[in-house]
Amino acid sequence: MRAKRLIAALLLASMALPLVGCAGGDGSKQVESEASAEPLVPSEKAAAVWKSEWADGENGFADASTIYGFDFYKNRELSGDDPAEIGNDDCKYIFYGENKARVVNFPDGYVFTLPTKKFTVDYTLSALRTRYYGDNFCLTITKENKSPYGNTPNGWEIYSSEWLIRYIDDLEFLSANSLRRTRQKVVSTDMLDGYTVWIFNTQFSLKVDWDYQFYDIAVVRKNDVYDTFYLFVMKSAVKQFELLDEIVKSFVEIPAQGKAENDQTPYELKIPDFWSDETKAYFELLRNQEYVSWGIFDYAMPDDKSSNVDSQMQRIIEDHQRLENAFDYTFDIMPTYTALRWYDTYNEFPTKIANATAGGNGFNGKPVLQFTYQFTASNNGNLKGYTPMFDILRGAYDNHFRKLARQIKDYGRPVLFRLNNEMNTDWTSYCGIITLLDPDIFIETWKRLYDIFREEGVDNCIWIFNPVAISCPYSNWGETLCYMPGSDYMQLLGLTYYEMNNGKGPASFRDMYTSLYNQNMPYFQNYPWVIGEFACGAGGETYYDYGQSKYVMTEKGRNKVSQAQWVREMFECFNNNQSAENAFCRNIKYAIWFSCNDVVTVDGQEYINNYLRLDVELTETLAAFREGLAVTKSKKNQ
């Protein structure tokens, strides 16, 4: 999993409500069906801007005389401005024919035909994607141009096989998750002149609690261009893959003009009125504090039925005492990780250890529990096998979720509930490349669990939405905002950005978290932020040399001096977060150091790849923590 983070480091919305697309927003005459007796009147506004290169005679758009309505979207909204003035704005045209619509997307540089004129549009995340909702389908189109592998055939093979079709083209994966193809995979150089088209048509084999049972996915790449392509994901309530074929055949690239931008209206923070008074009080304490609370993750908490619950509890207690003594600081947060399942074993809430090691509420001197819960059946290890995501949509886990909800409710104290962190990746069982290139499945499963918790009366969970800093796969369709579950379903923004420090010098904490600030501030400025996990490494026993394409053995801890310096700078920023130069970390309310090593197997032997654990030998780093936390403690006690 963390090997992918290393690659990312080296390479340095909930579905928004759709805008109503007016069929003929210029007031020109429209027909609702072929049976209408009203005459068709060509649109004058459409004729004023229509270009012959946008024509699609096969679908009824031969010239301006065949266009009977026109909508002009400017910066994501229907506009009454002069549609000929595109400039640098985010502009789209929609031309309405007798029973279809021709769409021009200027910033992304393409035109295509929708096989209906009864639809709504969603341009809220226009810099990432455009969406069109019909009576029984949702079509998402993205222009993808973020491949790090270059404009070469080999670069395309690496990118597409690793980060695009890896699962949708794998019959064993489809079978393991009760998905099936509705026709053979299409690979065509004839469907669209000058392009290669891949089409995958998939259906849920079992009934799911989800409007869309059919997924039709097209990858459209211009021949001899390997670092740019267009992705069409159409999900439908009925089997109709011919519609996507028609849409792809109507596609035309045009010179790009203007700039696509997202709606940057900040998400509203909604504090649930059903929270317990204790949970409300802790949340208010957290959001208003001007210091950063701290926690360390070292060992996960098994649930009460585990045979090693007592020994693991002792390990956690001993290691936290070791670090608290080294830092002269009592931790504020107690983090743990729990997977939905470990193959055939269902995991429950770790009530016994949570009560013994956490039990905090922000006021009683005990650490508050951060409970990271992941929809995985193999600790994200068997990604080409089974993922629980589709069974969650089917309701197969509802009873288990209800049991978990009751256990968390009985725990009683506030729980920082971090669900499915690092979803915008390729190393988790719930990431988008596993869920048919559709982040909405992540959102729907999130909402399902949230609603079950509500039904069970859980009043002590504070929900954390926690993507990783750099989305991987490198894409628009899989960016962070595409996974946002919505302001009704989360109360904290989680940050995760690692510096593995296996190279010649680490990126600075300031630079790393300033980039996250700039990335998130337009959307999440109303939210408290937390660092759900992070660390800077000290240099592992081995590292991957990309020039040699192999792991190279080296000295463990070789970068411990720069690790200590990284920690010192981090505390300089945290402990002076009210100054203008450190405003980038002012929203951050707590941080969790991931004190566990990542290992790799080389020639049958395990080696530490990312040395993150705060061992006793890292004397300078431990001292840097002690010095920084001394200032934190004084602020906390003021």
pLDDT tens sequence across 532-567: 999 999 999 998 888 888 999 999 999 999 999 999
Contact 188, 197 (CB under 8 A): yes
Three-class HEC string of 253-274: ECCCCCCCCECCCCCCCCCCCC
| Boundary of a domain, candidates 254, 289, 321 | 254
Q: Quote the percentage of the chain above a pLDDT of 70.
A: 94
Angle between helices 398-411 and 439-455 (to 10 degrees): 60
Task: Please tell me the distance from the alpha carbon of residue 215 to that of residue 240, in angstroms, as a whole number.
Answer: 9
Instruction: Give the bridge partners for 319, in sequence order.
Output: none
Phi, psi of 596 (to 5 degrees): -140, 145
Indicate if 150 and 117 belong to the same structural domain. Answer: no
Residue 617 lies in a domain: yes
Q: Which residues contact 449 (CB under 8 A, 6 or more apart)?
A: 392, 401, 419
In a domain, 558, yes or no: no
Could you report the per-residue pLDDT of 458-500, keeping only the tens digit for each? 999 999 999 999 999 999 999 999 999 999 999 999 999 999 9
Q: Where are the alpha helices (DSSP H) in 184-291?
A: 241-249, 277-288
Output the pTM of the full model. Answer: 0.94
**Digit-coded pLDDT (tens) for 38-83:** 457 899 999 999 999 999 999 999 999 999 999 999 999 999 999 9
Whether the link from the prior residue into 473 is cis, omega within 30° of 0, is: yes
Same domain for 110 and 195, yes or no, is no
Residues in CB range of 607: below 8 A, 6 or more apart: 540, 541, 542, 551, 553, 599, 600, 601
Residue ending a domain, choose from 110, 133, 156:
133
Strands 368-374 and 333-339: parallel
Q: What is the CATH number of the domain that holds 242?
A: 3.40.1000
Q: Same domain for 73 and 144?
A: no
Residues 290 and 240 in one domain: no
Beta bridge partners of 195: 222
The CATH number linked to 285 is 3.20.20.80
Residue 622 dihedral angles phi and psi, to the nearest 5°: -60, -40
CA distance 327 to 559: 21
Q: What was the pLDDT predicted at 21? A: 45
Whether residue 588 is found in the same domain as residue 445: yes
Residues 104 and 197 in one domain: no
Please report whether residue 571 resides in a domain. no
Within a domain: residue 550? no
- If one counts the domains in the chain, the total is 3
Q: Are residues 122 and 249 in the same domain?
A: no
351 CB-contact burial (10 Å; exposed 0-12 / middle 13-18 / buried 19+): middle
Alpha-carbon gap, residue 68 to 62, rounded angstroms: 12
Residue type for 429, please?
A: S
Q: Based on the domain organization, do 96 and 152 belong to the same domain?
A: no
Residue 628 in contact with residue 569, Cβ under 8 Å? no
d(CA 439, CA 432) in angstroms, rounded, equals 5
Asked if 178 and 109 sit in the same domain, the reply is no
Read off the tokens for 341.
């399942």
CA 156 vs CA 67, 331, 427: distances in Å: 39, 47, 20
**Residues 361 and 503 reside in one and the same domain:** yes
End-of-domain residue from the set 108, 133, 158: 133
Considering Cα of 417, then 421, then 423, then 426, what sign does the dihedral take? negative
Do residues 523 and 264 make contact, with C-beta atoms less than 8 angstroms apart? yes
What are the C-alpha distances in Å from 285 to residues 56, 269, 413, 532?
60, 16, 15, 18
Counts for the chain of helices (H) and strands (E), in that order: 14, 28
Cα angle: 397, vertex 399, 405; to 5 degrees: 100
Specify if 213 maps to a domain: yes
Residue 352 lies in a domain: yes
34 and 152 assigned to the same domain: no
CB 461 within 8 A of CB 495: no
Distances (CA, A) of 241 to 119, 192, 263, 432, 526: 18, 16, 31, 21, 42
pLDDT of residue 369: 98
Residue 572 lies in a domain: no
* pLDDT at residue 39 in the model: 59
Residue 40 confidence (pLDDT):
77
Rounded CA-CA distance 504/238 in Å is: 55
Residue 157: enclosing H or E segment and its boundaries?
helix 153-163
Please report whether residue 261 resides in a domain. Answer: no
Per residue in 71-123, pLDDT (tens digit) is 999 999 999 999 999 999 999 999 999 999 999 999 999 999 999 999 999 99
Crossing angle of the two packed helices 619-636 and 309-327, in degrees rounded to 10:
80
Do 280 and 206 fall within a single domain?
no
Q: Which domain holds residue 97?
A: 14-133
Pick the closest to residue 438 from 478, 473, 475, 474 (CA basis): 478
Spell 579-612 as b/e; 16+ CB within 10 A means b.
eeebebbbbbbbbbbbbbbbbbebeeeebbbbbb
User: Which run of H or E residues covers position 446?
Assistant: helix 439-455
pLDDT of residue 15: 35
Backbone φ and ψ of 305, nearest 5° = -85, -5
Residues of the chain with pLDDT under 50: 1-38
